[in-house]
Amino acid sequence: MSSDYAHLDVGDDAEFRALLRTFLTEHGPGKRPKDPAGRLDWQRRWQAVLFDGRWAGPSWPRDCGGMDLPFTRQVIYSEELARARVPNPPGTGVGIAGPTIIKYGTDEQRARWLPALLRADQVWAQGYSEPEAGSDLPSLRTTARRDGDDYVVTGQKVWSTQAQIADVLFALVRTGTQESRQNGITYLVLDLHAPGVTVRPLRDLTGGAAFGEVFLDEVRVPVTNRIGAENEGWRLARTSLGHERAAGAMIQASFYQRVFGELVALARERGTAADPVWSRRLADLGIRVKIMALNAASTIAAIEATGEPGPASSVSRLYNSTLEQELHEIAVDMLGPYGLLDGGPDAVQRGRWVGGFLRTRASTIGAGTAEIQRNTIAEQVLGLPRDPAMPPR
Amino acid sequence: MPLIATPEQEELRRSLRRFLQQVSGREQVRALLTDDAGYDPAVWHRMATELGLQGLALPEQFGGSGATFAELGVVFEEFGRALVCAPFLSSVVLTGHVLLAVDDPPAQARWLPGIADGTLLATLAVPAGAGHDRAAPLPQATASAGGWRLDGTVMFVPDAQIAQLLLIAARTPAGTSVFAVRAGATGLDRTALPNIDLTRRVSRVDLHATPAELIGPQGGADAALQRALQLATVALAAEQVGGAQACLDMAVGYACTREQFGRPIGSFQAIKHQCADLQVQVVSARSAATWACGIASGEQDPAQLPLAAALAGAYCADAFVTAAKANLQIHGGIGFTWEHDAHLYLKRAKSGQLLLGTPDQHRDTAARLMGITHEQ
């Protein structure tokens, strides 16, 4: 690892952008492998290249291997990575667990986990949802019983992204009584290679397995793997990662600008764009894709001006998840029955649009369903009254 | 990209909101619904003298204060929120910007100062729809010994009944040109149309050999007219954001206080989710309108104005109509009464949606500009 930060601290933003662009051009990750194992290896190798060049973790502290960039440069970083079409870090640890550990972990935990996580030497998966705890996550039942210097964890987690290739699970577990709900939940980091852990791929409606199920049977987890205090896990997991999300929304927006351009090219190639009904539908989609970027840019402008992400950040996820579903469905509809083919010589662009149509069903379910998000916007942003039938938050 | 308001713009918003609470409250708006002129000349005068609103975004050389379209966007958003009844879009934006866009310094010097200080009410007659190139034929201009004469009909001319000056797009042998006609000219008939939106008046204008004065060169006025229509679309989009926000605020306020089944109706998810969806649309509409106002200010990417106008025009118009309908629905029976304001917003939303080009026409424009269909 180079300990030289000079490239991050150059005087002006344009020079910073140019240095980053040069690095990305010189070290490009190469072509995306088609098989899942090759793809994981490709993601890991690229993440190590970034880390070793001191080009990983834009918002992370430098003593954790990050870059600790001012917000404006984090945005530039996101734009350039999106532009270069490089792979994302594998797993969900870099986006979710990492910032939580940065904020609430001990110095020892930060040193032990964060550089390895950021370099993708270890892949982390999330263990929040359970078969009986989806939207009502505070009812989760995976228990952690204290035994000496260990917790003994038993239960089942589900919808853990890439669990089958992950090394580490960051999980919410019950340390209090079932009735204590969110006040009896603890945040634990556990080794997926430990005795008592079984991971099974969860075959989803796409036919693939982007998620896994994790079965935990008397798994021993050292107390030193607990983030924050016992029974404080809910608060940690709920901590707003608003600034991280702002840059993420920007990446998503530039990604969909590009996807929309590809859809327009397809529509023109097939002659559909000449049909006024279709050209109008596509224009409507293009307008909404552009607004996705404007919402992200508004959030960024608000953070830069006031330090707070502003109203656009709270609606972006609902707006974007609905729009990405519509975009793929419009594409499938536009292709007619050809849109249904997900392989073989007659499939259009190897079935990417129907693949997206199926895959994005998860967009309004995972990480808080669209209904839960609407409740949150209604109650926390608009100030509408709580449903008295719901347990207290 | 100026996507959030500056402190100066926030100050403008605050002082304007205070002013409009005094002069465009519920009672005043209600009184104007049955008023023949459809606006309050005393308030119009105060807008000019106390706040300098009419001249806000007009150049200083014509008596304006040279602020940008971003400030004008703030004004329109507040107008939309308060259902302001005034000939602002017609006189200041449409007519003012056509005059600025045509090459006719004497006409500019003669009329822009009056528009900027509110002493001259002017309007622009172009066929309704997405502009003069789409719908009904333009009036015909004929040169005669005594000057130009106009013949034809223009529908849906905003504020024509009260205008002292009408700029009229007409055909000449050299192409589309702009003509000035004074109120009271011979052969000029203005008929108020019974439009459901009583906060925004439109008229039918008939011309029978009406004497007119050519503004700018003969022919080649299409670009100036397009530009004025695009700027008006952007201003209207800002107004629609204000209207949509007012509808959402009303709906949320009512849902917090109205009780049924022993609890506020806003505690039911059926109501909550409607309000949350409106919040998504209102916030997104504001992103679109703010961006478009920034483009219209000319400070960044002026070549994007046609796309920005089409984008904001389509999205904000639809967002306001959606918000107005949902507000009415959330109010239930009371929202269906004449006494409640929900219908005033619905009618304003609907007229704004169709006045300067429908959302579908804007989407067709966007389709060309985004390269979906070929540029014509």
| Helix or strand (DSSP H, E) at A14 | helix A13-27
CB contact under 8 A, B255 and A283: no
Contacts of A290 in chain B (CB under 8 A): 288, 311
- CB-nearest to B1 from A297, A318, A377 is A297
**What pLDDT shows up at residue A342?**
94
| Higher-pLDDT residue of B300, B296 | B296
Contact A165, A40 (CB under 8 A): yes
Q: What is the ipTM of this complex?
A: 0.94
Strand partners for B207: B152, B188
A-B Cβ pairs (cutoff 8 Å, strict): 140
| Higher-pLDDT residue of A250, B342 | B342
CA-nearest residue to A379 within chain B is B272
Rounded Cα distance, A340 and A333, in Å: 9
User: What's this model's pTM, rounded to 2 decimal places?
Assistant: 0.94
**What pLDDT shows up at residue A242?**
55
Give yes or no for A269 touching B (CB within 8 A).
no
**What pLDDT shows up at residue B302?**
87
Residue A338 corresponds to which tokens in the numbers above?
């050809």
CB contact under 8 A, A264 and B4: no
CB contact under 8 A, A282 and B372: yes
CB contact under 8 A, A385 and B256: yes
**What pLDDT shows up at residue A78?**
87
8-state DSSP, B67 = -
Give residues 284 to 303 of A whose Cβ lies within 8 Å of B. Answer: 284, 286-288, 290-291, 294-295, 297-298, 301-302
* Nearest chain B Cα distance for residue A312, angstroms: 6
**What pLDDT shows up at residue A393?**
73
How many Cα atoms occupy the beta-carbon half-sphere of A297 within 13 Å?
A: 18
Give yes or no for A1 touching B (CB within 8 A).
no
Give yes or no for A381 touching B (CB within 8 A).
yes
Give yes or no for A368 touching B (CB within 8 A).
no
CA torsion sign for B70, B75, B80, B82 is positive
- CB-nearest to B367 from A283, A374, A381 is A283
CATH of domain A124-229: 2.40.110.10
In this structure, the strands spanning B140-144 and B175-182 are unpaired
CB contact under 8 A, B373 and A319: no
Length of chain A: 393
In this structure, the strands spanning B122-125 and A211-222 are unpaired
Residue recorded with tokens 């972006």: A316
Same fold, A124-229 and A235-381: no
pLDDT in tens, B26-57: 999 999 999 999 999 999 999 999 999 999 99
**What pLDDT shows up at residue A116?**
97
Rounded Cα distance, A315 and A306, in Å: 18
Contacts of B371 in chain A (CB under 8 A): 264, 268
CA-nearest residue to B264 within chain A is A385
Among residues B290, B235, B277, which one has the least CA distance to residue B80?
Answer: B235
Residue A274 corresponds to which tokens in the numbers above?
């000449």
Confidence band (pLDDT; 50, 70, 90) for B328? very high
Residues B148-177, mean pLDDT to the nearest whole number:
97
Among residues B167, B170, B207, which one has the least CA distance to residue B185?
Answer: B207
Contacts of A283 in chain B (CB under 8 A): 363-364, 366-367, 370, 372
CB contact under 8 A, A273 and B373: yes
pLDDT at B376 over 60: no
Confidence band (pLDDT; 50, 70, 90) for B129? low
pLDDT in tens, B347-374: 999 999 998 899 999 999 999 999 999 7
**What pLDDT shows up at residue B214?**
98
Confidence band (pLDDT; 50, 70, 90) for B132? very low
CATH of domain A235-381: 1.20.140.10
* Nearest chain B Cα distance for residue A73, angstroms: 16
Give yes or no for B254 touching A (CB within 8 A).
no
Low-confidence ranges of chain A (pLDDT < 50): 1-2
Q: Is A324 a catalytic residue?
A: no
**What pLDDT shows up at residue B44?**
98
Residues B123-142, mean pLDDT to the nearest whole number:
76
Burial B47-62 (b: 16+ CB within 10 A, else e): bbeeebbbbbbbeeeb
pLDDT in tens, B168-222: 999 999 999 999 999 999 999 999 999 999 999 999 999 999 999 999 999 999 9
pLDDT at B70 over 80: yes
| Set A230, A232, A244, A326: catalytic member | A244
**Environment class of residue B16 by beta-carbon count within 10 Å: exposed (0-12), middle (13-18) or buried (19+)?**
buried
Give yes or no for B172 touching A (CB within 8 A).
no
Contact A42, A32 (CB under 8 A): yes
Domain ranges of chain A: 3-88, 124-229, 235-381
CA-nearest residue to B259 within chain A is A385
Residue B371 corresponds to which tokens in the numbers above?
């390269």
Contact B146, B137 (CB under 8 A): no
* Nearest chain B Cα distance for residue A197, angstroms: 39
Among residues A3, A55, A66, which one has the least CA distance to residue A26?
Answer: A55
